[in-house]
C-alpha cells in the first residue's frame, strides 16, 4: 500500500483552491458538502463539537470524493496534533500563532525526531495500520502545515512566521483579528479590511501561499481576485441557515 498523496499541498500556491469549514461534526453532512465540488473542506475542532472519532468518520467519507480534508486542532498542542496526525490527517491549520517560535513549535509537532517531537507509531491509521512500507521516511513530504494569524501581534510578526521552515501557508483569520483590532464582530470595518489587504500583499511579496475564511460571497470573490491561495467561502452552518431563512422569507411573502 502506498502513502496517499496530499493533493492540497501539491496544488498550494500553484492554483487557487476554494473550500469551506465543516463544523457540525457529522460524517453524512460533511459527505454531502464534499460531493458539491469544493477543493477542500476544513474539519474544525477549535469551535466545533468534533472529537477524534468524528474526524475519522468524516475523513473516511471525504476519502472517496475529489476533495481534500484539512483539520484545525483546538490548539497548537503536541498531544492533540499527534492524535490528529495518527488518525490520518495530512493538512493541519494551527490556530492563534503569534510569532516565529510558536510557528516553529507547530511544525515540530508534525515531524518525527530528530526533526521534531511527534510521537512514533507505525500501526496508526495514518500508516495504514502498518501496511505502508517506509512510512516514516515518506510522511513528512505529505504533511502540510498552515498557521493561522488572528491578532495584531501575529500581523506584526507576519514575515518572520512565514519564513519558518516547514510552514507551507499562512491563513489570516478575520474574526479574531477584528476583535484584536478593537472591532469585535465587525470584520468589514475599514481598519480590519486595510489590515487584511496589507497582510495579503506582504505574503504575496514573499511568495508565501495565503488563506482566508468568509461567509460573504462578495468578500470571497474579492479575496479570490486578490490572489489569495485558498479561500473558505462558507461554513456548513452559513450555507444551511442562509438557504433556510431565504426560503422561509420567500414563502412568507407570498
Q: Annotate 188-211 with DSSP letters as a single string.
A: TSHHHHHHHHHHHHHHHHHT--EE
Q: Mind listing the pLDDT tens digit for each residue in 187-246?
A: 999 999 999 999 999 999 999 999 999 999 999 999 999 999 999 999 999 999 999 999
Q: Mind listing the pLDDT tens digit for each residue in 112-156?
A: 999 999 999 999 999 999 999 999 999 999 999 999 999 999 999
User: What percent of the residues of the chain are helix, what percent strand, and what percent coil, each to the nearest 5?
Assistant: 45, 15, 40
Q: Torsions phi, psi of 72, nearest 5? A: -105, 115
What's the average model confidence in pLDDT over 242-253? 97
Q: What letters, b where the CB count within 10 A reaches 16 and e where it falls short, cover 208-243?
A: bbbbbbbbeeebbebbeeeebbbbbbbbbebeeeee
Q: Which of 164, 184, 161, 183 is nearest to 172 (CA)?
A: 161
Is 189 a catalytic site residue? no
Among 47, 57, 115, 183, the active-site one is 47
Amino acid at each position: 500500500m502506498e502513502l496517499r498523496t496530499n493533493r492540497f499541498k501539491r496544488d498550494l500556491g500553484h492554483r487557487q483552491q476554494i473550500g469551506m469549514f465543516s463544523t457540525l461534526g457529522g460524517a453524512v453532512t460533511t459527505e454531502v458538502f464534499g460531493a458539491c465540488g469544493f477543493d477542500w473542506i476544513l474539519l474544525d475542532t477549535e469551535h466545533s463539537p468534533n472529537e477524534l472519532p468524528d474526524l475519522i468518520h468524516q475523513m473516511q467519507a471525504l476519502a472517496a470524493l475529489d476533495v481534500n480534508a484539512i483539520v484545525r486542532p483546538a490548539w497548537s498542542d503536541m498531544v492533540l496534533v499527534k492524535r490528529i496526525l495518527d488518525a490520518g490527517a495530512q493538512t493541519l491549520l494551527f490556530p492563534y500563532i503569534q510569532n516565529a517560535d510558536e510557528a516553529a513549535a507547530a511544525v515540530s509537532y508534525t515531524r518525527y525526531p530528530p526533526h521534531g517531537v511527534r510521537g512514533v507509531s507505525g500501526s496508526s491509521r495514518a500508516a495504514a495500520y502498518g501496511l505502508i512500507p517506509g512510512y516514516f521516511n515518506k510522511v513528512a513530504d505529505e504533511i502540510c502545515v498552515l498557521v493561522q494569524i488572528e491578532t495584531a501581534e501575529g500581523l506584526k510578526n507576519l514575515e518572520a512566521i512565514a519564513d519558518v521552515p516547514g510552514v507551507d501557508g499562512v491563513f489570516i483569520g478575520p474574526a479574531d483579528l477584528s476583535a484584536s483590532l478593537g472591532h469585535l464582530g465587525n470584520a468589514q470595518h475599514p481598519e480590519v479590511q486595510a489590515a487584511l489587504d496589507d497582510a495579503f500583499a506582504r505574503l504575496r511579496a514573499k511568495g508565501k501561499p495565503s488563506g482566508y475564511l468568509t461567509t460573504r460571497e462578495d468578500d470571497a470573490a474579492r479575496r479570490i481576485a486578490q490572489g489569495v491561495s485558498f479561500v473558505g467561502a462558507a461554513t456548513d452552518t452559513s450555507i444551511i441557515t442562509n438557504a433556510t431563512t431565504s426560503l422561509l422569507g420567500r414563502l412568507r411573502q407570498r
